[in-house]
Structure 1
Amino acid sequence: MSSATKSSAKAAAGPHPLDTFFNPAGIAIIGASRDAHKIPGLLLAFLRKNAFAGAIYPVNPNYTDIDGLKCYPTMSAIGQPVDLAIVIIPARVVLGALEECAALGVKHAIIISSGFAEEGGDSIAMQDAIAELAKRTGMRISGPNAEGYYNQITGIAATFSPTVDVKPDQPRLVATKKRIGIVAQSGGIGFAIYNRAKALGIALSTVISTGNESDLGAGEFLDYMVQDPATDVILLFIEGIRDVDHFIAAAKKAAEMGKPIIVTKVGRSGAGERAAASHTASMAGWTAAYDAVFARYGFIVSNDLDEAVSIAAVLTTSPLPMGDRVAVVTVSGGAGIWGADVVSAQGMQVPELSGGVQATIRGLIPSYGSPRNPIDITAQAVHSGGLQKTIELLDTSDEVDAILVVISLSSETRMPFKTPELAPVIAAQNKPIVFWSYTLPSNFARTGLAESGVVVLSGLTHVGVAMRRLVDHARFRLAEPVAEITQAPVDLAKHLTAATLSEHDSKTLLQVAGIALPNEILVTEKSLLDAAIAKIGFPLVLKIQSRDIPHKSEIGGVKINITTREEAAAAYDALIASAQTRRPQASLQGVLVSPMASKGVEIIVGTLLDKTFGPMVMVGLGGVTTELFKDVVYRPAPVSAQEAEEMLSTLKGATLLNGFRGAAKADVSAASSLIAQVSQLAAQLKGEVAEIELNPVLVHPIGEGVTIVDALVVR
């Protein structure tokens, strides 16, 4: 989307509620100070150093002026409209100051002050009072315990972070026309991302630290960045989302627009809070729901700061690739092979070039170079212009989709490119052209290449990941939406009266909800066994049924492949005896008689309720080995059959469903329909059901459907 298109799209959508937060005409600093070494003084100093064009109103009864700027004893003494108040005073007096701001019609506030919910105890109540004030008055509040924001475009440094200090002897390096926006639930990390991006020459729109999110949360700030025409790529650093609806709406909007979001989620090592009644829950881990949401909306997940910035560098300097074929152009044979290894390890191709393209490159490089791919042009071809001509040739070739330029940029005096010649190539590039320097790049080289619009990267692993993520982002398509069912088509409440449900209870509920299950009979006394056998036929499976025994196999509660009446009678007795011996307190419902299912690929289909995002659906390969391999994937429920099929395709063991080693291809369509059905049931029953688990489900060959062997529903 061009800048003009983006601007008109924003105009059509109307102003954003946070426009005057990020672009205020007047800013008051409540608690401003003359001491430029302390936070209140730094806030004022950085605002002025960055040449904020609006009005600045320091508020502190102890001063009449600060460095020639009039200082006001109170907010009401200002007598002019204020869009944003920055509050840096002791926690106990913050609420009073906010009440005064709201009464005066101040639109927004950032509370830098600490000492609220992060301290616990009575301080939580003070933060709750701030949230209540925001709701009551309509004044939007960021923080407390926030680090503020920096809007690079308009030079608004509403923060005390030293990363925004202006040093005239250190000119700013800017290589990209596209800009990143940063939303971080840690001020330190948010401004660290900006600090590292700035060092590479990546332009910024805005970086915001969300603080404790008493009112404004990461979701609303993300929404602002998504619709902001000046923000091309978003970096998100989160611990946990509070304003879930805003977050999901913003994520969906970004996916629809194709605006990339690079996310880092921390807190992955925390112990789960769920008491896991099922395998589905025990495997979910701390962040399964977050990863499910990220996957649905095409977020680019990164767990490393430099990697995230490298991905941003590639996204802000490159058009999207058409495929995954990479040309590696190198001045060093060894470094080029290394580059080819790294992109190949990321699943991309490094194809040998055609005879015609090789012949053309051969004419641009010395005889001891190689035109095959990696293309070793040698150091000599750098100075003869062969390097640039090779890049230009490959940029218009339909044999590759991206170019990795491997080069040494340590010189403080000599450049491998002439800016007037390289700049038009980069400006008109048809595919990603990524530059990796295997020596540490000098400031001279960085600055010179920045003039041509090039960001130089020096971490090869990060380069490989960034190029892979660019390919993935280009391929991502938002799944078709599923209308969530709000009213049960049939009354399921009567099947949810027991505190816990057995397999029989669970399957009865699923069957009433319209999910196809095998023909099974619950035998409550041995005299009824023959009649059940007559209806179902051999071979059989017998399973003990009790609401007090969720995992039957652990007590020897399952007997399979029964082929005679005598075997069935003996199995019945053995199941009852085993349950009475190993679970003497358990109340027994009887024995479930089921047909022995034909062979198929074993999968698990499950759902769980996440405390942040609600119902989730999970699918994995395995059956009894599911927990061992943990080859599972989650999505927010409900999902469509199309999204369910995409879930199955992302499993590491997906090959088993596609006819591994001559086996028949599995009925993936039937499996996908089942996953979609179960996900819709989970969404429908989110108030009554915590978990559903079908394990194993046998996926038979194409046309033969699926069989649900065992099921568990947890209230």
Structure 2
Amino acid sequence: MPHPLDSFFSPASIALIGASRDHEKIPGRLLAMLRKNEYPGKIYPVNPNYAEIDGLACYKSIAEIGAPIDLAVVIIPARAVLPALEQCAVAGVRNAVIISSGFAEEGGDSAAMQDAIAALAKRTGMRISGPNAEGFFSQMQRVAATFSPAVDVKPGVVPLVATQRRIGIVAQSGGIGFAYYHRARALGVAVSYVVSAGNESDLGAGEFLDYLVQDSSTDVILLFIEGIRDVGKFLAAARRAAEVKKPVIVTKVGRSGAGQRAAASHTASMAGWSAAYDAVFAKYGFIVSNDLDEALTIAAVLASNPLPKGDRVAVVTVSGGAGIWGADAVALRGLQVPELSEPVQAEIKTLMPSYGTARNPIDVTAQGVTSGGLQKSVDLLTASDEVDAILVVLSLSSEMRKPFREEELTPVLAAQHKPVLFYSYTVPSDFARRELAKSGVVVLSGLSHAGVAMRQLVDYARFELPKPADEARLPSRDLSAHLTSPVLSEADSKALLRAAGIALPDEVLVKDKAGLDEAVARIGFPLVMKIQSPDIAHKSEIGGVRVNIVAKGEVFLAFEALLGNARKHRPEAVIQGVLVGPMAKQGVEIIVGTMTDKTFGPMVMVGLGGITTELFRDVAYRPAPVSAEEAGAMLKGLKAAPLLNGFRGAAKADVVALSQLIADVSVLAARHARDIAEIELNPVLVHAEGQGVTIVDALVVGRG
């Protein structure tokens, strides 16, 4: 089935608006790059100052061409761009890439010009990439619609190609996108597409991601993003990538305050709250990497290897020290480096001198290279069911000696039984890279990156797209009557939650002393008393909480003390009364909350609760709503997860009940996103397995 962007990435004809004869300047380089990469379609230079450029007829305007144009590449002063695009629309041009800068990234009138471009795209149906873009490169169709020197073709230089599978690159920074491409080529990783999204007046990162997800020539996707504008398209593409199990490696910049300032000035959009981005990435199984070389290493490993079936790694080396280092690198990432069984060790020992070791890491010694022991050990381990992946650690600095014979290594790797990574602790020679590339090997030169890549492969292999939330479980009710003020008191928050169908303990709001007897009779001892005011969020800080009250006399004294403390510390606060409730039985303290991200909307959060929440910041986020199954996965990812699973002999906590509460609260937040900005349940006490959970305190914030 054709994709709407097929004519963009594979144009039969290209018009270069602002073409030049000067190859030292960007307009001239655009034409040179197209021709050097042997673009097979028709090229129409457009510039009223020339009759011809480099042997091609040059046209005064797009209208003068008189032939169908699939793509216009625009590189003229910013103020001339909109009139040129209007002419393109009249001429029936289907797509445009605007290289010109001086738009939203400058603000003011320049931003208004970009808005006009967006409006033109919407009005005419012409798809527009940019402005302020570095263009794109389609390796498959030989379309170099960019001025980047990374796509330059040097005569007589044979490219290094080690992988049959290809990576596709989408970047909101043209420089970084083509840097990925440049480094991928140096490693021998084949590339399908590189696209620089620029200011995204029309086409955005989400739509480009969608194209690469459905593209049969793209096997792994690399994303570099500052902020997502076409959110709906991005999320739909992310889900499709997860469904078809196409790996997406993402780098999100703008996480620090300084980074956000730079992102805002660079793309004229705030980078967004990074926790929400991480939540979306986690939901769809994206592989997050915050380092350029590391991201490339992960991509290279994915492009040249199958996914592992488990987390057991064999390290094979020609240097004992380097082998131990390799074992440390994977073990520090939580992977297993198991001692091999006696039969397997005995077999490996026949392949090495007596001073080698077969336990794992396996040191075949330098002699193992010349004797064939290195190759035979790899053969044996790829067939063994005792390990799931292999890391080969060796020196590849030689300009003439081959550590493997192509005819022996190629069939072993081509069978794709398990990942086999090759790390050189010396600088790998061009000779070694090219010889091993013939067998499909990408030579890695960063050990920690190799360890990370192995970990990410194991995690990605285990990832499954979570089931959708069961939204029908929670009754759909009008809650507007409960949203009486922007910030609700605990009592009002709990009333709203009860009305929404969330289970809470029975509690009574007492407004004067006369109501205390009835409240005690209804609740029973032991009980808790808490001051209630929409103006007092943190009650314990002003002496607004009394716990474990066991006698009637204490009840009356506590009532007076709570009111007195509130008047003393917060005289301006509106006091609703005192909430009387049962003393909850013990449990693990957890926080469950929701908040609204300006890019992705409602988010649900869970973490270690109580007074230590802000100290440890052990929390997990996901876009709301989530299923109970997905909530369970969030809990497993917490550092505090052992506390729920019977840590040091304690009873296992009721994770099933907690997961269901998280799911229900997430559905509530998503369903009422227009009215509710935040929900916080802290603490939620998680009791022993089968005994449920207790919401101790609650806060709801309306959109106000």
TM-score band w.r.t. shorter chain: over 0.9
Q: 2: distance between equivalents of 1:485 and 1:122?
A: 49
SS in 2 for 1:320: coil
The answer to whether the 8 A contact 2:680-2:700 is kept is: yes
Q: 2: distance between equivalents of 1:63 and 1:422?
A: 56
The answer to whether the 8 A contact 1:485-1:683 is kept is: no
Q: 2: distance between equivalents of 1:190 and 1:104?
A: 31
- Cα deviation, 1:26-62, whole Å, max 9, x if unaligned, reads 0010000011011000100000000000001110010
2:431 aligned partner: 444
1:152 aligned partner: 139
1:363 aligned partner: 350
2:599 aligned partner: 612
In the TM superposition, what is the alpha-carbon distance from 1:420 to its structure 2 partner? 2.2
Matches within 5 A, 1:293-442: 293-442=280-429
2:46 aligned partner: 59
Q: 1: distance between equivalents of 2:676 and 2:622?
A: 17
Whether 1:218 and 2:205 are equivalent positions in the alignment is yes
In the TM superposition, what is the alpha-carbon distance from 1:486 to its structure 2 partner? 13
2:555 aligned partner: 568
Q: 2: distance between equivalents of 1:223 and 1:689?
A: 32
Q: 2: distance between equivalents of 1:187 and 1:611?
A: 25
- One-letter code of the match for 1:199? A
1:228 aligned partner: 215
SS in 1 for 2:525: coil
Whether 1:98 and 2:99 are equivalent positions in the alignment is no
Moved over 6 A (4+): 485-488
SS in 1 for 2:573: coil
- One-letter code of the match for 1:244? V
The answer to whether the 8 A contact 1:484-1:683 is kept is: no
Q: 1: distance between equivalents of 2:58 and 2:471?
A: 56
In the TM superposition, what is the alpha-carbon distance from 1:271 to its structure 2 partner? 8.1
SS in 2 for 1:409: coil
Whether 1:193 and 2:150 are equivalent positions in the alignment is no
- Cα deviation, 1:290-314, whole Å, max 9, x if unaligned, reads 1110000000000000000000011
In the TM superposition, what is the alpha-carbon distance from 1:482 to its structure 2 partner? 2.2
Matches within 5 A, 1:251-262: 251-262=238-249
- Cα deviation, 1:528-567, whole Å, max 9, x if unaligned, reads 1121111111111110001111111121111111111111
Match of 2:652 among 665, 682, 696: 665
SS in 2 for 1:122: helix
Match of 2:678 among 680, 688, 691: 691
Q: 1:66 to 1:285 in 2, by over 3 A?
A: closer
1:77 aligned partner: 64
- Cα deviation, 1:213-245, whole Å, max 9, x if unaligned, reads 000000000000000000000000000000001
1:680 aligned partner: 667
Matches within 5 A, 1:17-32: 17-32=4-19
Q: 1: distance between equivalents of 2:355 and 2:103?
A: 68
Q: 2: distance between equivalents of 1:311 and 1:431?
A: 15
In the TM superposition, what is the alpha-carbon distance from 1:81 to its structure 2 partner? 0.7
In the TM superposition, what is the alpha-carbon distance from 1:69 to its structure 2 partner? 1.4
SS in 2 for 1:36: coil
Matches within 5 A, 1:505-516: 505-516=492-503
Match of 1:140 among 105, 114, 127: 127
- One-letter code of the match for 1:542? M
The answer to whether the 8 A contact 1:272-1:286 is kept is: no
The answer to whether the 8 A contact 1:321-1:432 is kept is: yes
The answer to whether the 8 A contact 1:506-1:712 is kept is: yes
- Comparing 210-219 with 416-425, which one deviates more in the overlay? 416-425
Q: 1: distance between equivalents of 2:381 and 2:485?
A: 68
Match of 2:231 among 216, 235, 244: 244
Whether 1:496 and 2:498 are equivalent positions in the alignment is no
1:278 aligned partner: none
Q: 1: distance between equivalents of 2:411 and 2:693?
A: 58
Q: 1: distance between equivalents of 2:303 and 2:481?
A: 56
**Cα root mean square deviation, aligned:** 1.4
Q: 2: distance between equivalents of 1:334 and 1:488?
A: 63
- One-letter code of the match for 1:253? R
In the TM superposition, what is the alpha-carbon distance from 1:386 to its structure 2 partner? 1.0
Whether 1:202 and 2:208 are equivalent positions in the alignment is no
The answer to whether the 8 A contact 2:169-2:221 is kept is: yes
Match of 2:101 among 106, 114, 132: 114
The answer to whether the 8 A contact 2:527-2:581 is kept is: yes
In the TM superposition, what is the alpha-carbon distance from 1:421 to its structure 2 partner? 2.1
Q: 2: distance between equivalents of 1:123 and 1:583?
A: 50
Q: 1: distance between equivalents of 2:368 and 2:511?
A: 86
Q: 2: distance between equivalents of 1:91 and 1:485?
A: 52
Q: 1:626 to 1:463 in 2, by over 3 A?
A: same
Stretches of structure 2 that go unaligned for 5 or more consecutive residues are: 261-270
SS in 2 for 1:321: coil
Q: 1:70 to 1:484 in 2, by over 3 A?
A: farther
In the TM superposition, what is the alpha-carbon distance from 1:622 to its structure 2 partner? 2.5
- Cα deviation, 1:93-147, whole Å, max 9, x if unaligned, reads 1000001111111100000000000000111110000000000000000000000
SS in 2 for 1:588: coil
Q: 1: distance between equivalents of 2:604 and 2:259?
A: 17
1:4 aligned partner: none
1:479 aligned partner: 466
Q: 2: distance between equivalents of 1:360 and 1:110?
A: 60
SS in 1 for 2:68: coil
The answer to whether the 8 A contact 1:361-1:390 is kept is: yes
TM-score, with length taken from structure 1 = 0.95
Q: 1:177 to 1:86 in 2, by over 3 A?
A: same
TM-score, with length taken from structure 2 = 0.97
In the TM superposition, what is the alpha-carbon distance from 1:485 to its structure 2 partner? 6.7
Whether 1:597 and 2:584 are equivalent positions in the alignment is yes
In the TM superposition, what is the alpha-carbon distance from 1:483 to its structure 2 partner? 5.6
SS in 2 for 1:223: helix
- One-letter code of the match for 1:543? K
Q: 2: distance between equivalents of 1:22 and 1:293?
A: 27
SS in 1 for 2:458: helix
1:276 aligned partner: none
- One-letter code of the match for 1:214? S
SS in 2 for 1:690: strand
- One-letter code of the match for 2:177? G
Match of 1:522 among 497, 509, 516: 509
Whether 1:176 and 2:155 are equivalent positions in the alignment is no
Q: 1: distance between equivalents of 2:483 and 2:299?
A: 49
1:538 aligned partner: 525
The answer to whether the 8 A contact 1:327-1:350 is kept is: yes
Q: 2: distance between equivalents of 1:712 and 1:466?
A: 42
Q: 1: distance between equivalents of 2:258 and 2:79?
A: 34
Q: 1: distance between equivalents of 2:185 and 2:318?
A: 27
- Comparing 78-87 with 417-426, which one deviates more in the overlay? 417-426
Q: 2: distance between equivalents of 1:541 and 1:424?
A: 71
2:538 aligned partner: 551
How many residues are treated as equivalent by the alignment?
Answer: 692
2:698 aligned partner: 711
